[in-house]
Amino acid sequence: MCAAGAVPDHMIDEPYMKKLGDRLSAVESEMSQPGVATDHRKFRTLVAEHTQLKKVLERGQKFLKLQRDLAEHRALAADAATDADLKHLAEEEIKTVEGQLVAAERDVIAALLPPDPSDSRSVIVEIRAGTGGEEAALFAANLFRMYSKYVESRGWRVGMIDASPSTAGGYKEVIFSVDGKDVYGVLKYESGGHRVQRVPATEAQGRIHTSAATVAVLPEVEEEDEIKIPPEELRVDIFCSSGPGGQGVNTTYSAVRITHVPTGIVAQSQDERSQRQNKEKAMRIVLARIFDMRRQQESERAAKEKRTMTGSGDRGERVRTYNFPQNRVTDHRVNVTLYTLDRVMEGDLQPLLDELYRHDIEERASRELGTGPRKS
C-alpha cells in the first residue's frame, strides 16, 4: 500500500499499463483509417486521447520502475547478510529514489487528470490599469514587458492588437496575442488582479504608493469551435486611429470597434493601417471573450462548486503583489514569496508558474481523482 494521499496501488499497476497500451494501439489503428484525417473534429479528439495515453504510459512506467527500485534497495538494506558498505550505499539510494518518486508520482497524477482542451490554444491577453492613475498605467506597461520577455524565452510570438497609451508612457489598456503551443495551459494562471508597491518617479517625498492592474488571459477561438454569430448581432464602427504610427494612422479611418449587442462585449483594434486587418483583430477579441464566457458558464453548471483559485480567471481577485523596495513578489493563491522581483520583471516567471501548476494539479487530483501527491 502507498502512503495516504498518494496514487492508490490499483490505479497505476502493470495490468492497468497493459490496458492503456491496448487502447493506445486501438487509437493508432483508428487514426490510420481512410477518411479519419479529413474529419477534423474526430481526428483532433483522437490525437488528444493519443497524447494523453502516451503521457500516462511513459510516466506510469517510470513510476513503477522507481517503486521496484525502491523495494530492491530496501530489501538489500534490511538483509542481515548485506555487508556494511553495500548497506550504506543502499540506504543512500533509498533517499534518492524516494525523492524521485515524489516528483514521478506528481507527474503520473497530472497525466491521469482529464486535460482541459483549451490548454493547447494560443491566447489573447488583456492588461488594464486599475487604481493608481499614471502609476497604474506604468505598471500595466511593466507587466506587458514582463510577459513579452517570458513569451520570447519560450519561443512563442507576441502580436499587438490594441493599446491606449497614457501621457507618462504607460498603458491605460494593452491587448495582445500570444501564439504558440500550449500557451493557455501555461498563462491561464495570470488572470486576476496584480498589485504593485513602489515609490513612483513623480513622488518627491519618497513615499511608497500602491497601484493595481488587471490581467485577463483568454483562449483563442479555433476553426473547429464553430462559433456562429449572426451579422445582425454585431455593430461595427469605423473611426480614426489615435495611437502612434505617423500621419497615416491619424488621417485614415482604419480603426475598428465591434460590439456584440446581445452580450455588450466591445472590442477594438487600431494597431494596423488596414481597416480589414483591424476588423479581423477586433473580431478575434470578440470571439475569444464569447468563448471564454461560455466556457465559464458551462464549468459552473457542471461543477456546482466554487472554482479553485488557481486558473479560475476571476478578474477581480488579487492574485499577486509586486513589492519593489523589498525586491519581493508574492502569489497569494499559493502563499509563495520570492525575493527575486528584479528577475521576475525581466520575464523569469517560471518559478511562480511551476508553483501554480503544482497547486492546481493537487487541487484537481483531490477533487476529480479523490487523491493527491504524497508530500516530500
Domain boundary residue, one of 302, 336, 354: 302
Angstrom distance (rounded) from CA 26 to CA 42? 15
Task: Report yes or no: 270 and 241 within 8 Å, Cβ to Cβ.
Answer: yes
Task: Report yes or no: 258 and 268 within 8 Å, Cβ to Cβ.
Answer: yes
94 and 153 housed in the same domain? no
Q: Does position 298 have pLDDT exceeding 50, yes or no?
A: yes
**Quick one: which of 376, 282, 363 has its CA closest to 110?**
363
- The CATH number of whichever domain residue 263 belongs to comes to 3.30.160.20
Mean pLDDT, the chain, as a whole number?
85
342 and 278 housed in the same domain? no
Q: Does position 220 have pLDDT exceeding 70, yes or no?
A: yes
Q: Does position 318 have pLDDT exceeding 70, yes or no?
A: yes
Domain that holds residue 282: 231-302
Residue pointed to by grid coordinates 500602491: 210
66 and 193 housed in the same domain? no
In a domain, 2, yes or no: no
208 and 312 housed in the same domain? yes
49 and 167 housed in the same domain? no
State the DSSP H helix or E strand holding residue 145, giving kind and residue range, or none if neither. helix 133-154
Task: Report yes or no: 176 and 113 within 8 Å, Cβ to Cβ.
Answer: no
Q: Residue 29: its pLDDT value, please? A: 92
Domain boundary residue, one of 302, 320, 342: 302
Could you read off the pLDDT of 237-265 as tens digits, one per residue? Answer: 888 876 544 444 455 678 899 999 999 99
Task: Report yes or no: 84 and 92 within 8 Å, Cβ to Cβ.
Answer: no
**What DSSP assignment string belongs to 210-246?**
EEEEEEEEEEPP-GGG-----GGGEEEEEE---SSS-
In the chain, how many H helices and how many E strands?
Answer: 9, 11
In a domain, 5, yes or no: no
CA 332 to chain centre: 17
Rounded mean pLDDT, 75-85? 90
Q: Does position 94 have pLDDT exceeding 70, yes or no?
A: yes
269 and 143 housed in the same domain? no
Rounded mean pLDDT, 362-373? 71
Q: Does position 11 have pLDDT exceeding 90, yes or no?
A: no
**Quick one: which of 95, 196, 93 has its CA closest to 141?**
196
pTM of the model: 0.78
